[in-house]
Amino acid sequence: MTRHACALAAALLLSSCNPLPADTVRAEDHEAFWLWAGVRPQPVLARAHTLYILDGEVAGEPGRYTVLRATIPRVRGPELWLTVRLETLAWQPQVRPAILRRLTDWRAAGGRVGGVQLDFDARTRHLGDYAAFLRSFRAALPPGTRLSVTGLMDWSAHGDSAQLRSLAGIVDEVAIQTYQGRSTIPGYDRYLARLGGFPIPFRIGLVQGGEWRQPAALARNPAYRGTVVFLLNPERR
Amino acid sequence: MTARTRLNAAQDALFDEYGYMVEADQRDPAKAAAADASLRYYLSAYPNGRYADSARGLLRRTAWFAGNDAALARDYAAMLTKPAEPVRVIEELDTKLLDHDKGYQAATGPLLLAVADLQRLRSSVGEEQPYHGSGLSRAELERQRPQFAGRDDLYTYLLAAEALYNRSAAADVLALIPDAVHQSRFTTLQFSRQVLRGLALDMSGDPNAYRFWLSLLPGATGPNQRGAVELAIAQHEEKRGSLDRLLADTSPVRTPALRRIAIAHLAGPDLLRARAAAPRAATDERELALYVLLTRQLGRGRYADFLRDVALLPPAPPQPHAEQTYRLPPDREQEELEEAAVTSGDLAIFRTPRKEPGTGCPDLRATATRLTAAPADPHARLCLAEWWRLSDLDYFPFDQPLAETGLGSGPPRWPGQPYSRLLVYQSLLADARLTPEDRAYTLYRAVWCFGPSGINSCGGDAPKAQRRIWFTELKTRFPQSRWARSLKYHW
């Protein structure tokens, strides 16, 4: 049943279809989204302010760049971020120029591309080394291009403050992911409670259909930049 | 050149502004047909031309544009018999053919059809599955027989898989696949056939099943083969209650991930102590066993045992050095399980636990000693709860079953219940011996189980009305305490 039919039926006390629990992440409540490869575009994209679109991934040993999007996005309106999934930081020499070429192509297609986002699961105890990698990558980005990275909630709990702060001079934002695969990580609220002194502007990453209850303290955190929702195909939610 | 220009023109019309291919009914067939025709013209004129291979490859692209699954299936079936780059072919057909129902229907045998059939036999339970086609019936499989001429081994395997996964018809499987378990090595298909037979033996409760799996082990030398057999053996040991045999140094179950499940989720205190002290056990196995042993001893009231076994703690390790490379290991799941296991650093909660100032709690050993003499001592119980909280044990993962079925789905062989801070606080609040200072702190901590978002992380439960009562008592009876002053919500 569609959501509207459910609401009507519930109002009439007729059927037992399940309206979504209040904590369920609905894309329509948010303004920024991740659009991954293989995810069919949804109508809610039309109201996005910010779009993180997966362009390709760096994988293999050593890593090479594989484009995963059939054509360059031609989106007008929202701010776009060219997102690259990393399976490895050990890159072949041609990977960085390939990504920069894609960035040029994206901008040539007319989109307002704010920057590049790297999606990599950097283990908390290796943050210092990841920062070194990012410093070098950042130096190669053309002017007017920001750098965003995805982050683990674990960074806020166990990250060495000095290492996190070193990241602050290098990346413009961290998108902290509250989900693993397609489900929200239990206990996310306790991790987020430790974001009080987080030294970098951050967004909170949610998964469509997952769980989200916004902690009261978040809105008062000057580094908080809002949510991003990872969109899923309907049959996967 | 003409062909490529037409191809680009077709492409522009086929993808939306996000770079996603539009639905079939929104594509202009004339454009794809035009590109296709140009490519074929080129190939007829220059069958061995410089661009012939590329043109042939691009014909798959125009077939894809046109939604011509039959042509795609024919091409992939042919490519699979002599793959120059097997991984690329597989990746391409996964995303271009086997990602929609008509594509599955178009698959032709024997190899491509077998792959499509096996995917369709997958259950729909479990969120992580990519799309895997509609269900496959026995009748439909029977109609495919001619496509498997000359591949009886593959076809009978498919029939047996359908019988097992669709209908749990173990007897059918045993009739279709004879015992051929005593081989020095197996091809993937041979091995899969024997595993299916083993699963059918398990399903029918055959007394020979265990011996069957043991016999399969010596020849299980191909990729991923040994682990599959070890898992079957481990499940047998769990069912028989022979966890000590499962975890023995000489056990056939050697895969670390499987042993970790047995240690963390299943083993009782005596077995854990034995593994924690086993001289030939791997270091991380010893450490995991000790971590689980000591945590559960404290959490389930075995304080004297804790004081005795804490002597098994190895000395604190030096600072770990950073790894040189950052590659994910090829087996991603292995890494996730490794993340769940403990490292020697985690044993720090027993050596140098975190403390909260102002609670008046002594060190962990002193608390455990007090509890050994007086297990109901309120202050000591409160301090144990503090240690539990500050050691991040609210999310101790090993008291939850790993899955609904299979290894690790049963409870650990421990008496007692998993530790719950909330239950402890509730019990303390009913204890008249609790001092005023401790009572104020207990109220504070009980309410904070539900912070910062109203989600309880302490186990047990207490409705909002109850939290309100605690909150009110803290504020009205202990207004001067720092806990009352700092508590703002009761969620």
Q: How far is A75 from chain B (nearest CA, A)?
A: 6
Using the Cβ of B101 and the Cβ atoms of chain A, whether some distance falls under 8 Å is answered with no
DSSP string for residues in B301-361: T-HHHHHHHGGGPPPPPPPPPPPS--PPPS-HHHHHHHHHS--GGGGHHHHS----TTS--
Cβ neighbours, 10 Å, residue B371: 21
Please give the C-alpha separations between residue A37 and each of A40, A187, B253, B293, in angstroms, as whole numbers: 8, 29, 39, 45
**pLDDT tens, position by position, for chain B (491 residues)?**
777 777 777 777 778 899 888 877 778 788 778 878 888 888 888 888 777 778 888 889 888 888 899 999 999 999 998 878 888 889 889 888 998 888 999 999 799 999 999 989 986 555 455 667 788 999 999 999 999 999 999 999 999 999 999 999 999 999 999 999 999 999 999 999 999 999 999 999 999 999 999 999 999 999 889 999 999 999 999 998 899 999 999 999 999 889 999 999 999 999 999 999 999 998 889 999 999 999 999 999 999 999 999 999 988 766 544 333 333 333 334 444 444 456 666 788 898 888 888 888 999 999 999 999 999 999 999 999 999 998 888 878 888 887 778 898 888 999 999 999 999 999 999 999 999 999 999 999 999 998 776 778 898 889 999 999 999 999 999 999 999 998 888 87
Chain A residues in contact with chain B using a Cβ-Cβ cutoff of 8 Å: 35, 38-41, 45, 53, 61, 69-76, 87-90, 121-122, 125-126, 128-130, 181-183, 186-187, 189-190, 192-193, 213-217, 235-236
Q: How far is B398 from chain A (nearest CA, A)?
A: 15
Residues of B in contact with A129 (CB under 8 A): 322, 326
**β-bridge pairing A183-184 and A202-207:** unpaired
Right CATH number for A24-236 from 3.30.43.10, 3.30.70.1230, 2.30.60.10, 3.20.20.80?
Answer: 3.20.20.80
Tell me if the pTM is above 0.80.
no
Q: Check CB contact under 8 Å for B127 and A70.
A: no
DSSP string for residues in chain A: --HHHHHHHHHTT-----PPPTTB--GGG-SEEEE-TTPPP-GGGGG-SEEEEEEEEEETTTBEEEE-SSS-----SSEEEEEEEES-S-B-TTHHHHHHHHHHHHHHTT-EEEEEEEE----GGGHHHHHHHHHHHHHHSPTT-EEEEEEETHHHHH--HHHHHHHHTT-SEEEEE-EETTEEPTTHHHHHGGGTT--S-EEEEEETTSB----GGGGG-TTEEEEEEE---GGG-
Contact criterion met (CB below 8 Å) for B325 and A63:
no
Residues of B in contact with A235 (CB under 8 A): 131
The SS3 call for residue B199 is: helix
Largest interatomic CA distance in chain A: 64
Backbone φ/ψ region at B443: left (φ over 0), alpha (ψ -120 to 50), beta: alpha
CA distance A106 to B375: 67
Comparing CA positions, the residue from B245, B351, B370, B249 lying closest to residue B291 is: B351
Cβ neighbours, 10 Å, residue B338: 15
The structural domains of chain A, with segments of one domain joined by +, span 24-236
Burial zone of B88 (CB within 10 Å; 0-12 exposed, 13-18 middle, 19+ buried)? exposed
Using the Cβ of B41 and the Cβ atoms of chain A, whether some distance falls under 8 Å is answered with no
Contact criterion met (CB below 8 Å) for A21 and A209:
no
Taking CB atoms and an 8 Å cut-off, how many pairs form between chains A and B? 83
CA distance B215 to B195: 12
Residue in chain A nearest B88 by alpha carbon? A66
